[in-house]
Structure 1
C-alpha cells in the first residue's frame, strides 16, 4: 500500500504540471525582502492584560526578567510604516485571534480521498510557484493558512486538491500583493488542469467557508517581530525563514502555533549561527521560555537535516540559491535533538 501510494503521489506531482513565469503584464515583485509588517507573538495570554502592560510587568519582574527591557522600536518611532504607536494593540489582537485561527493537527481525519502526504506535495509545489511568481513572503504563509483552514471545514477530492491550492494562492495574492497574479496565470501554471470558471467558483466557496476572514496571524508575521527583538541581520533572518519554511509541508508541525514555529526558527538561527541567546528580551517578546521553544526547534531541525535528501525539495532548492545566500548549505545545530 505504501509503495502504491508513493507512485500515486508522484503521479499527482507530475500531473500538476510545469511552473513557468507568469503571463500577465503586471509588474512582479522583486522578491528580495525578508522584512514585513510588525505583528505579535503567540502563546497563552490573559485577555484582560494588554501587551504593553505585560512587557512593563515583565521588565520589573524579579524572576526571569531581571533587566529592563530595551525599546526595540527606538529607531523606528519616526517611521510611519512601523506604526510604533499602534504596535502593542496589534500584538494584543494577534494574541486573541491566534488560537481561533490555528487548525487542528488532526483535521485530516475528516478527509476521505486525500491525506497528509498529498498536502505536502501540494505545498511543496506551491513553494515553487510562489518563487516563480516572485511573490511576497506573506503570501506563501497566508496561502498555507487558507488551505489548512479550508480543508478543516470541507472535504475535498484528490482531483480538486490542486484547485484548492491555486485558489488559496490567488486569494492570498489579492490580499497581500500590489501586483497580484491574474486568474489566467494560475490556469497556466496548473497546466490548464482547471478553467478560469472553476478557479473563480472555488474562490467563492473558500471565502464563504472562511467567512471572508483573511486577517490572521501567520509564522511570518511573528518572525518579523522576533527578528527585531533578536537584532538579526539578513543572514540570520534567511536562516530562520528557511527553518520555518521547512516546516510548512509537514503536517505534524501543525501541532505548534505559528508563534511557536516563528520562535523556533529564530532559536535555531541563534544556535546555528552562534549569535545571541534566548535571554529575557526574547522571552518577553515571544512569551516562551527556552524550554518551551526547544521541542519545536528539535522537530524543525530534524526536518532541516532531512531536507537535502527528501523527496520534496522545493524549500531546500529555494534556499540553496545565490539569491538566498545558499543558506540551506549551512550546518544544522547537531545538538538540537529530542
Structure 2
C-alpha cells in the first residue's frame, strides 16, 4: 500500500520508460505471436507449467524428482509427501492464474482463495490471514542472521491493509496508470504486508502472473516467469531487499524491484517470440523436434533422454533420441557414460 499510495510521486528514467514502451510493443504483437498451431501452443504451455511449478517451489527450497514432478503436474498421482503436497497446491493455483476464469477480479477474498488452494492438500486450512506478528530476517551469504530486514504489518492490521491495497490497485488501474507498474508495486506491497503465516512469496509470484493475465499480458501462460526469477535468483533477492527497506515509513525505493520485474517480463516475451519464430521456420514435423532442440540447448549441465522426455511430455522417446543423435553427429553433443545411465553434454 505504501508503494501504490506514492505512485504519483515517482519519477522514471528514460531507460525505464523504454522498458514500458518495449512491453507495450510485445503486447501489441501478442495476437500475431500466438496465432500458431494448437499443438505448438499446447506444448509451450505444458513446458511452462512444468517449469513454473518446479522453479516456483525450488526458490523456497521445495523439490521433488523430475519424474514425480511430471506425474503430479499431469495429475497421474496423488501427493503423498509434504513436498509433493506443496507441489500439487502450486500446480492448482497456477491453473487459476495463467488462464483466469471470466469475470475474475483481484480482491482480498480471491487472494485468500489462492492461498487456500495452495494448501488444499494439507490437513490444516489455508486462506487465513496470519494470527501472529512476523519479522523478516536478513542473513549473510552463509545463512547467518544479520538482523531484521523489515517488520511486516502487525497481524491485527493485516485484513485492513489488504483491503486497502486491493482498493489502491483498482484505483490506479481506473486512472489508466500502466498495469505493469501497478502490478509490480502491488506485489511489493503484498510482500511487505506479508499477510499469511507461510507461502507469501509463492503467492506473490502467482498474483503477479494473475495481474499480468488480467491485463492482457499472457506471456506467463507460455513462458515460465518463475524460471526466469530462479535463473536470476541473486538479482531477484537483491532487488527485493533494496526495495523493502523503509517501507513502513514510506521512504523505501521501489525502483530496484520495478526494474527487475519489468526486465523479467521482457525476457519472457523475448523468449516467447524467439521460440515461436524458430518453430515457424521449420518444416511440417518441426515443432516438436525444435522444442527438443531448445530443451537441449537450455539444459543446465549433463542430461539424459529421460530428462528431456519428462520436460516435454507430448514428445516420444524415439524422437528425442533421434534429435540427440543428430546433434551428436553435428558435433554439438558428446556422450557422458554408457548404457541406461548415459548422459549427454553440450560441446562448446
Q: Which range, TM-score by smaller chain?
A: under 0.3
Report which of the two structures shows the higher radius of gyration computed on alpha carbons. Answer: 2
Task: Choose between structure 1 and 2: higher strand proportion.
Answer: 2
With structure 1 as the length reference, what TM-score do the two structures score?
A: 0.25
Q: Which has the higher contact order (CA 8 A, sep 6+)?
A: 1
